[in-house]
């Protein structure tokens, strides 16, 4: 028995003592004599056979375990290789545990340099494996902690996925996958683990870390001397003496002043990234099963899993595992976190998409687990919209967690704990784990760094410490659990206390009076190329968001307002179909899919999901419209309008749609003609050709094309540049400087776009130094000059084009329609470039130092100057349907229907159109693209000029239907008296009750009082929210068959109403 007291090493020499300890627990060196070499004192080979599942990526989804094991397995051996990339290989493992191992821990040790799943002989998912350098994160499976003997022949299965933890690149992590990766079987055995050695290894490991971090502090020296003495003791054959030394050291607890790290196990699992969705489904099973396995022996373990979609996949693909997960949910150990369907991008999804992320996430947790989450958990997203606090409040959440702001390239965010205030004034408690990571390995270094890095010292005594392998899933390991036990309460290190997010946030809430306030967006100064990369993802997202909006609106009209029965299949089936469609859209909003940072294989699959959702939304809309208009004998042409204001718009209709003699404009192909049509707010009108108050004209004077529709006047050069843009009868020109200098708009500009590393993600500040305007007057590019394609009176169209390079071309149709407030640019690009970004740039004469950008349910003002490093870093920013720069009484807006990347600098406003990164998808955006944008000069403020309405119209044109119809000329089902509020969403309640949910927002940043008018009787109106709850009664009245609901809104507030159709005494049955 060694002396239990701490013995200093003979020589006070750090340079020898610390390496001595390190070598004694090295996995690579001195294994013949050190402690790690004693971990597995005995092992046996396994009898192995193999079956290759036919097919490649995702093929495993067609097979169930019972069929797999009936296949013909053939013998294989160490050294054999399996692949290629994304294929699946099943191994049958047969062995007997030697009887001399009774009482010992027995493990399967495995090596294929890949991910894999251990299955029991009867089809239970037991644990994930992740093996090989550098991914040896979970290289073995503990069969039993203490072998009881007489077990007889054992059979296990291992399902090998031919990919690594982080995908399948053979070079750098973000290189595109290597399609020909092969995986070699390097280890397959059962082994007896010496549990005393295992414990001593971790004692020494943690003491070594403490010594390394704390010396020259006294406690660090104590750790070193203790560890050194333990080594002496172990060499002398006294393991128990060494254990006693370690216990004595770790027993010295922390004082009350010590910071607490809320240790929360997690496995940030990217729903797709360097692997496709199909692999994530298996990664969920591996990660979840691995955590259940740890819980068997570490009852203190708390594991949180976000993204309801991943839980749903577990239920669908591994129901037996899912049942065991639910048992641990009930025990309070395995917890859902985050509230959302997936961890979405924080910038691009619409306001309504955000609401549905929460709604369908919480709905799943409520239905499946009988609980909902209390926090919004989004650790890894590339910036956070300034409306998120308002959206969180709208769905009943007040706690937010992320860590990504630590990635900002220029400025260090000044808080880890703060009150975050959004554009509507809503405040939530925000926490950033001060370790600036969500995949801590649970080391002393990380724990000390977390405490040291905390920006709010003195204001809080607790911080989150999120540990467990992440990105590719996995989560905590047994080794991490061992280290945490030793660091739970040890002098010299922060307390590592396992707790739930709820417990942590409760502690933070008790201290929130100490926290500072941050107002506005959380702008990540990195990854700003993700507003533009993979253009189709953005275009389809916007398109489907509007299609779903329309589908829900017309379905509401059919069901709630026009008397379709609540039991009708139209309602119930449509609700079910729309939920499926929404979930496809929400899935694609994952924070590596919609930003464009996933590998190539992800994108065709995501496009298919978007297109399916689009098809369903269109079909629900059409069925609802048919239902509204009934089955009558006459056929009529109708235009429908799902926006809350009346509109005049030029549509392209088949010749003969309107009566002869009306004002129309024949199109060159002869089959269609332009017609000016009108529609009332949220309603319909029979198609009747209107007469434009001012016919659109185009004149060419000296190679300049002058367009005028009585609202907008524009002058365009032969190379497609704008040199004049005015509101009619106003002499202020967007493209004249105050001193009269000529300025240019629609400068089609290519910049070099070579990031430092994160290719698909980043557009760096220095790209701005390399502009090349391709359509300048003296351009050397091959330009097809402007020609007049349509010349009025309803629509003027010009066309021009330019060869961007030998392989890329750009064609644009510039249109001005009668009654339109904007000039639009329909653009087609065949894009085949390397590391270039394409923008359209507008140098304006507007004197301002701020710009406004459309965001979720509101807009955000940002400076256009570069006064501070914070302003300078915002050179590429996110905006949705429009951006505007204005003086107080006039200004200029750009509208778009599929773009999100903007720059506003000085008097310049530009819209990013396409990028060409090569990693992780070498083919990103290398194809044909079509998109539109528009420019709108305006008098007055953007609010007075109704820029918000114009942008909605640009994204949501009037629709024409041929319907059996026998009704009045037109009808408006819903309208709004008063300005500022936008009824964005009108939808049937998700519960199928026939109630109608109205979600509106104040769009001008002003207080407003409005009255919502509906041509329907309602039994009740209640306050509601994003969860569609019924709140307090809202007063309403009825006047001549119209229901009037007065509503007050504060700036940018989001408001929900829940209407029960029917009369005041009888709710619709
Ligand atoms: Zn992530």
List pLDDT tens digits, range 102-130.
Answer: 999 999 999 999 999 999 999 999 999 99
Task: Name the burial class of residue 659, with classes exposed (0-12), middle (13-18) and buried (19+) by CB atoms within 10 angstroms of its CB.
Answer: exposed
Of residues 86, 102, 109, 99, the one with CA closest to residue 156: 109
> Quick one: average pLDDT of 664-691?
93
Give the Å distance between the CA of 471 and the centre of ligand 1: 5
Predicted pLDDT at 2: 46
CA pair distance 1062, 1064, nearest whole angstrom: 7
Return the pLDDT at 656: 87
How would you list the strands of the sheet with 516-519, edge to edge? 376-377, 399-401, 427-431, 417-421, 516-519
What is the distance in A from the centroid of ligand 1 to the CA of 491?
A: 34
Distance of CA 41 to the CA centre of its chain: 48
Average pLDDT score, the chain: 95
Note the pLDDT tens digit of each residue in 862-898: 999 999 999 999 999 999 999 999 999 999 999 999 9
pLDDT tens across 148-181, in order? 999 999 999 999 999 999 999 999 999 999 999 9
Band of residue 670 on the pLDDT scale cut at 50, 70, 90:
confident
Mean per-residue pLDDT for 606-629?
95
Whether the pLDDT of residue 1064 is over 80: the answer is no
Average pLDDT over residues 280-284: 98
Q: How far away, in angstroms, is 788 Cα from ligand 1 center?
A: 49
Instruction: Give CA–CA dist 651/675, Å, rounded.
Output: 5
**pLDDT, position 633:** 60
Residue 309's pLDDT band, with cuts at 50, 70 and 90, is very high
How many whole angstroms separate alpha carbon 269 and alpha carbon 471? 5
Residue 964 has pLDDT above 90, yes or no: no
Evaluate if residue 135 carries a pLDDT over 80.
no
Answer yes or no: are the C-beta atoms of 672 and 652 closer than 8 Å. Answer: yes
- Give the C-alpha separation, 594 to 602, whole Å: 10
pLDDT(1065) > 50: no
Residue among 130, 106, 135 nearest 46 (CA): 106
Q: Which range has the worst mean pLDDT, 30-34, 302-306, 500-504, 959-963? A: 959-963
First to last CA, the chain: 83
pLDDT of residue 632: 65
For the packed helices 277-297 and 478-487, what is the interaxial angle rounded to 10 degrees?
A: 50
- Rounded average pLDDT over 996-1006: 98
Q: Residue 5: what pLDDT?
A: 55
- Residue 134 pLDDT greater than 80, yes or no: no
Note the pLDDT of residue 636: 81
Residue 957 burial class via C-beta count within 10 angstroms: exposed 0-12, middle 13-18, buried 19 and up? middle
Q: How far is the CA of 707 from the centre of ligand 1 (A)?
A: 48
Beta strands in 66-139 (DSSP E): 74-75, 81-82, 88-96, 105-111, 115-120, 125-130
In this structure, what token pair is assigned to residue 40?
A: 């597995």
Q: Is the pLDDT confidence value at 298 over 60? A: yes
The mean per-residue pLDDT over the stretch 638-666 comes to 93
Of the pLDDT bands very low, low, confident and very high (cuts 50, 70, 90), residue 446 is very high
Q: How far apart are CA 817 and CA 827, in angstroms?
A: 17
pLDDT beyond 50 at 1068: no
CA 512 to ligand 1 centroid distance, Å: 28
The answer to whether the CB of 224 falls within 8 A of the CB of 14 is yes
Question: In residues, how long is the chain?
Answer: 1069
Instruction: Write out pLDDT tens, residues 814-863.
Output: 999 999 999 999 999 999 999 999 999 999 999 999 999 999 999 999 99
Look at residues 425, 411, 505 and name the one whose alpha carbon lies nearest to residue 464: 505
* Alpha carbon of 600 to ligand 1 centroid (Å): 17
Catalytic site positions? 380
pTM of the model: 0.97
Average pLDDT over residues 728-735: 96
Sequence-separated (6 or more) residues with CB below 8 Å from residue 1007 = 1048, 1049, 1050, 1051
CA of 427 to the centre of ligand 1 (A): 25
Residue 1066: pLDDT band (50, 70, 90) is: very low
Q: Minimum mean pLDDT among 50-54, 135-139, 382-386, 1048-1052: which range?
A: 135-139
For residue 58, pLDDT over 80 is answered with yes
| Structural contact between residues 38 and 197, judged by C-beta atoms closer than 8 angstroms | yes
pLDDT at 480 over 80: yes
Tens digits of residue pLDDT in 349-359 = 999 999 999 99
Cα(188)–Cα(771) distance, rounded to whole angstroms? 58
Name residue 904's beta-bridge partners. 909
pLDDT of residue 203 exceeding 60: yes
Residue 307 has pLDDT above 80, yes or no: yes
Three-state secondary structure call for residue 875: coil
**Ligand 1 center–CA 275 separation, angstroms:** 12
């Amino acid at each position: 028995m060694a002396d239990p007291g701490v013995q200093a090493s003979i020589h006070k020499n750090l340079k020898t003592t610390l390496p001595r300890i390190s070598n004694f627990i090295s996995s690579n060196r001195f294994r013949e004599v050190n402690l790690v070499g004693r971990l597995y004192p005995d092992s046996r080979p396994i009898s192995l056979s193999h079956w290759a599942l036919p097919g490649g990526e995702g093929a495993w989804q067609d097979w169930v375990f019972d069929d797999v094991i009936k296949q013909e397995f053939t013998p294989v051996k160490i050294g054999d290789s399996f692949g290629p990339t994304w294929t699946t290989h099943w191994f049958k493992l047969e062995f007997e545990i030697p009887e001399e191992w009774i009482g010992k821990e027995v493990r399967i040790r495995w090596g294929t340099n890949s991910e894999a799943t251990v299955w029991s002989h009867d089809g239970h998912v037991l644990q994930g494996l992740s093996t090989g350098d550098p991914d040896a994160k979970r290289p073995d499976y503990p069969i039993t902690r203490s072998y009881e003997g007489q077990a007889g022949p054992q059979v296990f299965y291992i399902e090998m996925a031919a990919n690594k933890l982080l995908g399948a690149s053979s070079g750098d992590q973000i290189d595109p996958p290597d399609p020909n990766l092969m995986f070699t079987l390097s280890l397959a055995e059962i082994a007896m683990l010496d549990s005393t050695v295992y414990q001593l290894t971790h004692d020494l490991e943690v003491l070594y870390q403490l010594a390394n971090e704390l010396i020259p502090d006294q406690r660090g020296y104590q750790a070193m001397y203790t560890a050194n003495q333990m080594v002496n003791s172990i060499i002398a054959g006294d393991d128990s003496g060494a254990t006693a030394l370690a216990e004595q050291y770790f027993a010295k607890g922390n004082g009350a002043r010590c910071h607490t790290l809320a240790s929360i196990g997690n496995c940030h699992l990217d729903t797709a990234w360097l692997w496709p969705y199909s692999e994530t489904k298996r990664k969920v099973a591996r990660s979840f099963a691995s955590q259940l396995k740890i819980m068997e022996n570490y009852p203190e373990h708390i594991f949180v899993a976000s993204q309801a979609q991943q839980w749903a996949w577990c239920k669908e693909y591994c129901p037996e595992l899912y049942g065991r997960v639910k048992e641990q949910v009930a025990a309070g150990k395995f917890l859902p976190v985050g509230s959302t369907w997936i961890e979405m991008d924080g910038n691009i999804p619409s306001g309504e998409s955000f609401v549905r992320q929460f709604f369908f996430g919480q709905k799943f947790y409520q239905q499946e687990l009988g609980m909902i989450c209390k926090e919004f958990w989004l650790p890894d997203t590339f910036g956070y919209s300034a409306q998120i606090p308002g959206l969180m409040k709208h769905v009943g959440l007040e706690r937010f967690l992320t860590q990504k702001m630590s990635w900002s390239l220029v400025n260090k965010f000044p808080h880890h704990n703060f009150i975050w205030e959004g554009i509507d004034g809503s405040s939530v408690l925000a926490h950033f784990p001060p370790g600036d990571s969500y995949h801590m390995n649970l080391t002393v270094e990380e724990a000390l760094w977390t405490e040291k890095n905390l920006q709010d010292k003195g204001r809080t005594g607790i911080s989150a410490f999120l540990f467990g392998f992440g990105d590719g899933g996995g989560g905590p390991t047994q080794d991490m659990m061992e280290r945490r036990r030793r660091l739970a309460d040890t002098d010299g290190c922060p307390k590592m206390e396992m707790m739930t997010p709820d417990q942590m946030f409760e502690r933070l809430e008790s201290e929130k009076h100490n926290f500072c306030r941050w107002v506005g967006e959380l702008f990540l100064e990195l990854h700003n190329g993700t507003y533009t990369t993979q253009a189709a993802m953005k275009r389809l997202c916007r398109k489907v968001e509007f299609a779903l909006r329309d589908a829900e609106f017309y379905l509401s009209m059919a069901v709630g307002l026009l008397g379709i029965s609540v039991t009708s299949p139209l309602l119930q089936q449509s609700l079910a179909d729309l939920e499926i469609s929404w979930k496809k859209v929400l899935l694609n909003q994952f924070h590596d899919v919609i930003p464009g940072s996933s590998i190539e294989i992800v994108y065709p699959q995501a496009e298919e999901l978007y297109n399916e959702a689009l098809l369903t939304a269109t079909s629900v809309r059409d069925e609802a419209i048919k239902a509204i208009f009934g089955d009558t004998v006459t056929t009529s042409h109708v235009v429908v309008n799902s926006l809350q204001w009346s509109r005049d718009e030029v549509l392209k209709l088949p010749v003969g749609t309107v009566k002869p003699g009306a004002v129309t404009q024949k199109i060159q192909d002869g089959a269609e003609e332009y017609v000016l049509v009108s529609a009332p707010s949220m309603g319909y009108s029979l198609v009747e050709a209107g007469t434009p108050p001012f016919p659109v004209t185009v004149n060419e004077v000296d190679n300049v094309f002058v367009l005028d529709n009585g609202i907008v006047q524009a002058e365009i050069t032969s190379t497609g540049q704008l040199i004049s843009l005015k509101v009619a009868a106003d002499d202020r020109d967007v493209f004249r400087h105050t001193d009269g200098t000529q300025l240019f708009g629609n400068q089609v500009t290519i910049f070099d776009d070579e990031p430092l590393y994160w290719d698909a993600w980043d557009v760096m500040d220095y790209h701005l130094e390399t502009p090349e305007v391709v359509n300048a007057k003296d351009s050397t590019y091959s330009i097809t000059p402007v020609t007049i394609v349509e010349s009025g009176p309803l629509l003027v169209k010009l066309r021009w084009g330019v060869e961007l390079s030998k392989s890329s071309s750009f064609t644009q149709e510039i249109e001005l329609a009668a009654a339109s407030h904007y000039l639009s640019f329909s653009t087609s690009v065949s894009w085949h470039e390397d590391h270039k970004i394409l923008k359209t740039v507008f140098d304006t004469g507007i004197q301002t130092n701020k710009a406004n950008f459309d965001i979720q349910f509101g807009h955000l003002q940002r400076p256009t100057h570069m006064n501070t490093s914070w302003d300078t870093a915002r050179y590429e920013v996110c905006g949705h349907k429009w951006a505007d720069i204005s003086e107080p009484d006039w200004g200029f807006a750009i509208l778009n229907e599929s773009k999100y990347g903007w720059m506003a600098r000085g008097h310049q406003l530009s819209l990013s159109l396409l990028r060409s990164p090569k990693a992780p998808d070498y083919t990103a955006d290398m194809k044909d693209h079509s998109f539109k944008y528009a420019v709108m000069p305006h008098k007055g403020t953007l609010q007075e000029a109704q820029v918000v309405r114009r942008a909605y119209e640009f994204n949501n044109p009037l629709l024409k239907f041929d319907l059996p119809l026998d009704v009045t000329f037109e009808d408006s089902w819903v309208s709004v008296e008063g300005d500022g509020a936008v009824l964005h969403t009108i939808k049937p309640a998700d519960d199928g009750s026939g109630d109608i949910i109205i979600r509106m927002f104040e769009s001008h940043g002003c207080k407003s009082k409005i009255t919502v008018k509906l041509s329907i009787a309602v039994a009740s109106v209640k306050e509601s929210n994003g969860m569609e709850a019924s709140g307090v009664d809202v007063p309403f009245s009825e006047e001549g068959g119209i229901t009037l609901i007065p509503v007050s809104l504060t700036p940018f507030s989001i408001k929900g109403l829940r209407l029960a159709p029917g009369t005041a005494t009888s709710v619709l049955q």
